[in-house]
Amino acid sequence: MIDLRSDTVTKPSPAMRAFMIEAEVGDDGYGEDPTVSALERRVAALTGFEAGLFVASGTMGNQVALRTLTQPGDPVIVSARAHLLQFEAGASAKNSSIQLLAVDDRHGYPDPDQVADLVRQYRRLHNPIRLIAVENTHMPSGGVPIDQTVMNAIIEAADGTPIYIDGARLWNAAVALDVTPAGLCQGAIAVSTCLSKGLAAPMGSVLSGSQEFIERARIERARLGGRLRQAGIMAAGGLYALDHNMSRLADDHRRARSLAASIKTQLPSATADVLGVRTNIVLLKVQEPHQYLARLHEHGVLCNVLPAGDVRLVTHYDLDDRAIELAASRILASL
């Protein structure tokens, strides 16, 4: 079975496991786990912020950030197909009681004109937009990385409204654009980055921001039941991943392009958007996507269908060139 469902399906390598076992640990609830603290400092530095907070998942990173940066009833702008809106089981409504306002994201980022309009409108209503969330890379448009030029347009449209980055795949964006993660976070108030996607660690995300933000986020994490103890074992997986698996994200991107290209060359009618492949995600438009998914499964390929109907194929650490070639032939055989 070739698993293209997500870059979350990877298993920790033997070397990563060995490194995790050796981790120095303590009670992080008392701030005494040196490995967790090292990971938090490391990710904060990489993203250009003062401090970091290790959380159990990307969803928890987003939810802690929203609880820290908003009050119940606040309007918050998100892109229409954002993870925050589509894939967190309504958590933003339940945990923060905020009003999410969806803006067009067909180009892979929240449309700056719509953002500017909403910011103005809500100020006139004396109910100003509290936060704007930007997903980088933007998964539903095929993993589009948002560069500093687009970020600047969004920052200008925001007109002083704080911007939060859901950077579950920020590392992919930085590698694809050949810029630093910190460069992509300039002008943002906070960012959440995943260790358990392309970096192939077994668990965790780090939320980064100012010292003051992280102190308040730590309380919100506790309120969600996310205060951790000897979590250094898991944090060590993250540290190992940052040291060893960052530059290889370019291999995932190359393999996604080659997967899209072989589908396209052998089947010109397929609407795999070869040029559109920017990182590690290939979107395929087919008739009856759910039936296609079942046929693919019979041919030994696992993948997902997005709510909009696109078949999503994600390359990752556990798939080499051979697996991608094999996947391409099975994908064509199932069409």
Ligand X SMILES: *Cc1c(COP(=O)(O)O)cnc(C)c1O
Tell me which residues touch ligand X (CB under 6 A).
8, 57-59, 62, 83, 135, 139, 166, 168-169, 194, 196, 205
Is the CB of 45 or the CB of 91 nearer to ligand X? Answer: 91
How far apart are alpha carbons 223 and 151 in whole angstroms?
A: 32
Residues 156 and 121 sit within 8 Å (Cβ to Cβ) = no
CA nearest neighbour of 169 among 48, 61, 80: 61
Is the CB of 135 or the CB of 220 nearer to ligand X? Answer: 135
Is the CB of 308 or the CB of 326 nearer to ligand X? Answer: 308
Give the residue closest to ligand X by C-beta: 58
Is the CB of 83 or the CB of 255 nearer to ligand X? Answer: 83
**Longest Cα pair distance anywhere in the chain, in angstroms?**
59
- In angstroms, what is the minimal distance from the CB of 287 to ligand X? 27
- In angstroms, what is the minimal distance from the CB of 131 to ligand X? 15
Residues 77 and 127 sit within 8 Å (Cβ to Cβ) = no
Residues 184 and 177 sit within 8 Å (Cβ to Cβ) = yes
- In angstroms, what is the minimal distance from the CB of 306 to ligand X? 12
- In angstroms, what is the minimal distance from the CB of 159 to ligand X? 25
CA nearest neighbour of 105 among 76, 77, 70, 63: 77
- In angstroms, what is the minimal distance from the CB of 256 to ligand X? 15
Residues 84 and 100 sit within 8 Å (Cβ to Cβ) = yes
- In angstroms, what is the minimal distance from the CB of 265 to ligand X? 29
CA nearest neighbour of 317 among 256, 249, 261, 258: 249
Pairing of strands 190-194, 205-209: antiparallel
Is the CB of 66 or the CB of 328 nearer to ligand X? Answer: 66
Does residue 137 have a cis bond before it (omega within 30 degrees)? yes
Residues 173 and 279 sit within 8 Å (Cβ to Cβ) = yes
- In angstroms, what is the minimal distance from the CB of 38 to ligand X? 21
Is the CB of 61 or the CB of 262 nearer to ligand X? Answer: 61
How far apart are alpha carbons 321 and 252 in whole angstroms?
A: 9
**3-state SS assignment for residue 140:** helix
